[in-house]
Amino acid sequence: MKLRLGLILLLFVASAGILVWLYYAATREPRSPKGSPWAETLADLDACCRRKHVKSVQYDHFADIAADEKRHTAERLFRAMAFSERLQENNCATAILRLGGHYTPPGKIVIFGGTTDGNIERSIAYERQAYAGHGGADIRRAMERGNRYAARMLTWGSAGDMRVIALLEHYRQEDRNAPDTGRFAVCPNCGSLYTSEYVDCYCPACLTDSERFVRFE
């Protein structure tokens, strides 16, 4: 009899404890979730992804226009640029996922038209403005956080912007009556873009063997 009474008392105490715990859980102030230590870097990677995505779509469109105008060097250059931008977008998107974030490409993109000469000028102006807009601040922020991986992806993207500007300006300065013989190569790892005549035996940015380069010839 005493054993039965003790068991009932024990069950009563346990039930009361559970009720108290449930009441406390329901009425306590919710804890504010801790922000990701990479929140700022994730935002920078996302901005890089979106910029690269928009440019890849735009450059593919400019390549179609150049093809219609039979400007074959310009077409190959725009195709190579679009491919490079997609690779760098993918690199940054992969970094976002590895750091616990999520990336969704832009759903609506405004496409510009015009002649190839006008598109070259428009592209140079846009690239210069975009490059000046971040000026390496995103890379510095990643390094300050100790995230060398993200900093490397952002560095590849920034270096890609500079190469695009240089190649566009070189093309603009060429004689329009010169033969359309320009050829280009893109590193499949970091997205670095080169003219085929100046390709080294490996990519200076990521040491990928040049035999793996994607050629636009």
pLDDT tens by residue, 113-170: 899 999 999 999 988 887 777 778 999 999 998 999 999 999 999 999 999 999 999 8
186 pLDDT higher than 90 = yes
Q: Does 155 or 22 have the greater pLDDT score?
A: 155
Structure tokens at 185: 């190569």
Question: How sure is the predictor about 176, in pLDDT bands with cuts at 50, 70 and 90?
Answer: low
Residue 39 has pLDDT above 50, yes or no: yes
- What is the structure's pLDDT at 71? 93
Average pLDDT, stretch 9-35? 43
Q: Average pLDDT of 99-118?
A: 90
Judge whether residue 50 has pLDDT over 70.
yes
Superfamily name and number for 39-181: Ferritin, core subunit, four-helix bundle (1.20.1260.10)
Task: Give the span between the Cα atoms of 48 and 156, in whole angstroms.
Answer: 11
Residue 173's pLDDT band (cuts 50, 70, 90): confident
146: number of Cβ within 10 Å: 9
Question: Rounded to an integer, what distance in angstroms lies between the CA atom of residue 163 and that of residue 203?
Answer: 13
Size of the chain in residues:
217
The reported pTM is 0.80
Average pLDDT over the chain reads 83
